[in-house]
């Protein structure tokens, strides 16, 4: 196959994916509205296009990794208006089903094939090719992208009808929201119990009580360092609103997920919007600590 791929959106995820693909022999044509980001990635042998239209003209497969539905719609419209031959356009972002369907309609009308393929994983996981691709849409197009997916992700699956990729991503992020806050609560509890926090990370992570979120974010909580963010609190707020709306649409209450939402809201109120979501540890340190009972303190 032609090992040329386009990427529109070279942020935390898109940039990491671009670097991994170049390392595996792909010719990557990329574009981002952030000129500094483009200059940085050009040094890593990503070919920087002048605009999204040029990406569409140069690459038979295009991936989009963007931060807002407005940006996704704008890029879809730009690609549709280029007059380029039929392209496979792989949408990687987390968006509502309505926004994904709008993306598909714009591209299909121009003769292109849109795929809904959100990713499970953080920016740190993207750097390590530790992503899962939730692919949905045209099965032949997904099969054509299988080698591409294998070069930046550890796993991918064809989930059937367009939109099922996003539905799977919503389930994954529902769990991430809960596991992240649960990890922070556990680390505050360990701190109050007088345990060595680094030993807590070492011993809890691999055990039955561990999770991927605990393994990734508890070390950040120990250090109290939340930058560079693998997922910003401000971005996560957008994703959580999408999940809440999705759950309401399908008629499913989410009591545990709902309980985590105020924690992330408080993180925003504390000015942690640009910090990693592990920073909810700082929220819980201020909101769940009470005076210990006599004799219940740490045992030395």
- Give the active site residues: 169
Bridge partners for 64 per DSSP: 8, 91
- Where do the H-state alpha helices sit in the chain? 12-23, 35-42, 52-58, 69-80, 97-109, 123-127, 139-144, 146-150, 164-192, 197-204, 212-223, 233-250, 255-269, 280-287
Single out the residue of 114, 96, 278 nearest to residue 187, CA to CA: 278
Bridge partners for 119 per DSSP: 133
Backbone angles phi, psi at 109, to 5 degrees: -60, -30
d(C-alpha 12, C-alpha 118), whole Å: 14
d(C-alpha 282, C-alpha 287), whole Å: 9
Single out the residue of 50, 70, 69, 118 nearest to residue 90, CA to CA: 118
Q: What is the DSSP string of 203-268?
A: HHTTSTT--HHHHHHHHHHHHT---S-SSBHHHHHHHHHHHHHHHHHHT---HHHHHHHHHHHHHH
Q: How many CB atoms lie within 10 A of CB 297?
A: 11
- Contact by Cβ (8 Å): 133, 153: yes
DSSP H or E segment with residue 7: strand 4-8
**Side-chain half-sphere of 150: how many Cα atoms within 13 Å?**
8
d(C-alpha 51, C-alpha 58), whole Å: 11
């Amino acid at each position: 196959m032609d090992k040329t791929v386009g990427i529109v959106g070279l942020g935390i995820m898109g940039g990491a994916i671009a670097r991994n693909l170049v390392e595996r022999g792909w010719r990557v044509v990329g574009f981002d509205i952030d000129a500094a980001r483009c200059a940085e990635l050009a040094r890593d042998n990503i070919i920087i296009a002048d605009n999204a239209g040029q990406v569409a003209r140069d690459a038979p497969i295009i991936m989009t990794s963007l931060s807002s539905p407005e940006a996704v719609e704008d890029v879809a419209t730009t690609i549709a208006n280029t007059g380029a031959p039929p392209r496979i356009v792989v949408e990687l972002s987390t968006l509502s089903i309505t926004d994904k369907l709008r993306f598909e309609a714009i591209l299909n009308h121009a003769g292109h094939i849109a795929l809904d393929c959100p990713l499970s994983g953080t920016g740190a996981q993207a750097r390590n090719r530790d992503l899962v691709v939730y692919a949905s849409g045209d099965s032949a197009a997904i099969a054509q992208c299988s080698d591409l997916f294998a070069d930046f992700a550890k796993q991918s699956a064809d989930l059937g009808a367009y939109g099922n990729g996003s539905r799977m991503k919503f389930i994954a992020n529902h769990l991430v929201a809960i596991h992240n806050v649960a990890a922070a609560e556990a680390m505050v509890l360990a701190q109050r119990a007088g345990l060595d926090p680094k030993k807590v990370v070492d011993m809890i992570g691999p055990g039955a009580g561990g999770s991927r979120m605990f393994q990734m974010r508890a070390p950040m909580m120990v250090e109290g360092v939340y930058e560079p963010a693998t997922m910003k609190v401000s971005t996560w707020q957008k994703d959580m609103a999408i999940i809440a709306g999705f759950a309401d649409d399908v008629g499913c209450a989410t009591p545990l997920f709902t309980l985590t939402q105020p924690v992330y809201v408080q993180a925003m109120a504390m000015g942690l919007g640009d910090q990693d979501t592990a920073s909810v540890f700082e929220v819980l340190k201020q909101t769940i600590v009470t005076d210990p009972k006599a004799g219940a303190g740490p045992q030395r």
